[in-house]
Amino acid sequence: MIDQKPIALAVTGATKRFGSALALDDVSLSVAQGSICALLGANGSGKSTLIRALAGYHLLDAGAVQIHGEELNVHRLAEQGRAAGLRFVHQDLALIPDLSIMDNLALERGYVRDGSGTIQWRREEERVRRELASVGVEASPSERVAHLGPVDRTLVAIARALDRLDGNRNILVLDEPTARLPQSEAAKLIARLVALKERGLPIVYVTHRLDEVYKLADAVTVLRDGRAAFSGPLSTLSSDDLHKLITGVAVRMNPRLAAAAKSAVGKAVLEVMDVSSQRLTNVTLTVQRGEVVGVTGLIGSGRSELGRIVYGLQSRTGGEVRISGKPIDLALASRRIGYIPQDRRAGLFPALSVEENITITAAERLNQWFGLSPKRVRDAALKVIRAFQIRPADPLSSVGILSGGNQQKVALGKWLQLPLDLIILDEPTQAIDIGTKQDLMTTIKERARAEGLAVLWLESDIEELVKYADRILVMNAGRTSAEFSQQPFSLQEVLAEAYRMNDDPGEAKGGAAHAARIEHGG
């Protein structure tokens, strides 16, 4: 449209409904041959839905998709998209670390074999060497993927996805490839991607990092609440414009909580003093009695790691953590600290019953001289089931069959039944419907108000924080970069701070690849 080059991929009027929610509303996007279109948007804006729809995971309710000018059947995007050259590289790359690069590539397209079916290793190796050279990887084809750096791994995944690098029939969709990379590595990857683009490859590039957009993208599509807030060339936009496009959402505040939101002045329950670790640099924060402190930041900012350090799951290289004045080990032994990990399933026992899941934290308290009374255990479980309205309200059904929202109620309930000093929540309302979300956060707020529970809440959904937190800290590349304590919070300001460009490449700490394993988000 705007470009001289032919359009490789054009999506028009894409619409997708989940129940009553409109996940995509008349979204259009296009990528020209040899250009990169950045796909931007906050969490829940519809980026993932759009990508998944293109890959054929979700069926679009309406819309059209054209590749190289040919109209595809939107009901058969999985096969037709693939046949037309559409390729996806997802965040987890789906490589097998213990196999060589050659084997990993062959998983996708098979080995070079002779008439009898025997693998021609010599020719296979030559072919892989060529493929690696074309994406800019210098490693030997027989190198194990585990030995590669994160950038090379991503490039290997790209080489595997593309079938003919010279033919330019492919269109590559990259889902946040730099999310888990430190800044310096990200810059290397971006340089490689630009080189691929210049050789003609069209790329749809999903990202959270605005600074990257200006380094590689030609066009940009910004999604907000399922709509395309903007779709067109990047050159017309300033970074301020992009901020506004991404974050232009009205602030909504729960009136009940707004009334209750009175800054509780209590003694400090959690004190994080000058803590450093693999990804954190001199983080200092406190959470008072009865206070809900939200910590946000992009993926890779270190917020999840902060939670793991406070709960003693990960070691720190410097600084001190005190809970109720006690050093962390002693505090954890007192069992007055709860933790809900980001990966909900890691915090639950899916094969065990609701009752077993709820009472596992309370077994010590429920125990009597003769052991656990089944009636006491059952009563404790029923109390939580009732308080949290867990459905089905059956203490014996296994947790694995519960909906995501109900699983999270079990996870919260098992902690909140105890007299806690502090609870650490890592994305507690992720993938939960709005009603349940509100119930859970209201429960937590009330608990904080009534009993002085301190809450450290790590969250990527800033809109949620703005609604329920007493104080919001923003993290950027392992440091706390801003604090908001004046209510009502401005969603725009917090978002802008979280998306603030970070042009200091020395900042990011190394070793991101493994540290970030469970640090996924939006």
Partner 1 sequence: MPHASSMEGENRSSAPRGGFGRSWSILYKYGLLIALVALAAVFSLLRPDTFPTLANAGSILTGSAALAMIAIGVTLPLIVQQFDLAAGFMATFASLIVIGLLSFNQAPVWLAILAALAVSAVVGLVNGVLVAYAKLNSLVVTLAAGSLLFGTSEIYSGGATIYQNVPKAFLAVGQLRVAGIPLPFVYVIVVALIAWYILEYRPIGRYMYAIGGGEEGARLVGIKVDRLVVLVFVASSFMAGLGGVVQSARVGSANPSVLQSMLLPAFTAAFLGATSIRPGQYNIWGTVIAVYLVGLGTTGLFMLGASSYTEPVFDGAVLLVAIVLAKLSARGRSRS
CA distance 520 to 522: 7
Asked if 41 interacts with partner 1 (CB under 8 A), we say: no
Asked if 224 interacts with partner 1 (CB under 8 A), we say: no
Q: Contacts with partner 1 in 294-313 (CB under 8 A)?
A: 311, 313
Q: How far is the CB of 375 from partner 1 (least distance, A)?
A: 8
In 3D, which of 477, 480, 482 has the Cα closest to residue 508?
477
**Binding window for partner 1 (CB under 8 A); candidates: 9-17, 66-74, 96-104, 364-372:** 364-372
Q: How far is the CB of 155 from partner 1 (least distance, A)?
A: 31
User: Pick from 109, 199, 335, 383: which binds partner 1 (CB under 8 A)?
Assistant: 335
Q: Contacts with partner 1 in 473-512 (CB under 8 A)?
A: none
Dihedral sign for Cα 347, 182, 43, 11, please.
negative
Q: How far is the CB of 400 from partner 1 (least distance, A)?
A: 5
Q: How far is the CB of 394 from partner 1 (least distance, A)?
A: 5
Q: How far is the CB of 312 from partner 1 (least distance, A)?
A: 9
CA distance 269 to 310: 12
Nearer to partner 1, 82 or 336 (CB): 336
Q: How far is the CB of 124 from partner 1 (least distance, A)?
A: 33
- Token pair 């640090």 in the structure block, residue: 519
Asked if 374 interacts with partner 1 (CB under 8 A), we say: yes
Please tell me what DSSP assigns to residue 521: -
Q: How far is the CB of 339 from partner 1 (least distance, A)?
A: 6
Which pair of tokens denotes residue 390? Answer: 């867990």
Asked if 397 interacts with partner 1 (CB under 8 A), we say: yes
User: Pick from 9, 128, 165, 348: which binds partner 1 (CB under 8 A)?
Assistant: 348
Asked if 329 interacts with partner 1 (CB under 8 A), we say: no
Nearer to partner 1, 359 or 438 (CB): 359
Q: Burial level of 284, CB count in 10 A (0-12/13-18/19+)?
A: middle
Instruction: Give the 3-state DSSP-derived string for 371-432, with helices as H, strands as E and coil as C.
Output: ECCHHHHHHHHHHHHHHCCCCCCCCCCEHHHCCHHHHHHHHHHHHHCCCCCEEEEECCCCCC
Nearer to partner 1, 364 or 503 (CB): 364
Would you tell me how many other CB atoms lie within 10 Å of the CB of residue 261?
18
x/- string (CB under 8 A) for partner 1, residues 403-422? -----------x--------
The two most distant CA atoms of the chain are separated, in Å, by 82
CB burial string 99-123: b at 16+ within 10 A, e below: ebbbbbbbeeeebbeeeeeeeeeee
Number of residues lying near partner 1 (CB under 8 A): 40
Asked if 341 interacts with partner 1 (CB under 8 A), we say: yes
Nearer to partner 1, 273 or 372 (CB): 372
Task: Indicate the helix (H) or strand (E) that contains 183.
Answer: helix 183-198
Asked if 355 interacts with partner 1 (CB under 8 A), we say: yes
- Which strands form 7-18's sheet, in the order they lie side by side? 21-32, 7-18, 62-67, 70-72
CA distance 449 to 292: 9
CA distance 252 to 13: 29
Q: How far is the CB of 187 from partner 1 (least distance, A)?
A: 34
User: Pick from 218, 356, 421, 461: which binds partner 1 (CB under 8 A)?
Assistant: 356
Q: Which residues bind partner 1 (CB under 8 A)?
A: 311, 313, 332, 335, 339, 341, 345-353, 355-356, 359-361, 363-364, 366-367, 370-372, 374-375, 377-378, 392, 394-398, 400-401, 414
